[in-house]
Amino acid sequence: MTDPTPLSSTPGGAPEQTPPQSETRTALLEPPNPPAPARHTSRVQLWMHRVSVFLFVLISAVAGVLLIILPWTPEWTDNYLLISFPSLRIVVASGFFRGICSGLGLLDIWIGFWEALHYHEQQ
């Protein structure tokens, strides 16, 4: 009978057993993992998700409207926070800075409504 483990000889002539080579596998050769079973969400989780999306859209819309309108009002530069920093007040009063703030407001509104339009519930 033959031994399935390969033998190698040392310079002294005594055979020594070498451990079998372990099989190496790569992710490309392995079959894909089976899909996870669908989770059934409870009614409470479903409503919590709906409420969180609604609040996100609401907060995004309100913050966006404030960022669009507020930079163009006198309260934007005539406030107590900027009185002690006159150089910062000059920067905040510039049209470029006001335009950036209004642009961020438009972006905020866009993100909120995009989230509302692409909302879907998992089955």
8 A C-beta contact, residue 61 and residue 113: yes
Q: CA torsion sign, 116 to 97 to 99 to 70?
A: positive
Separate counts of helices (H) and strands (E) for the chain = 4, 2
More confident residue, 59 or 24: 59
At 119 the pLDDT is 87
Q: What is the pLDDT of residue 78?
A: 87
Residue 106's pLDDT band, with cuts at 50, 70 and 90, is very high
Cα angle value 63/68/70 (rounded, 5°): 85
Q: Which pLDDT band holds residue 55 (cuts at 50, 70, 90)?
A: very high
Flag whether pLDDT at 69 surpasses 80.
yes
Q: How confident is the model at residue 97 (pLDDT cuts 50, 70, 90)?
A: very high
Domain regions of the chain by residue span: 41-123
Q: How far apart are CA 99 and CA 91, in angstroms?
A: 12
Question: What's this model's pTM, rounded to 2 decimal places?
Answer: 0.60
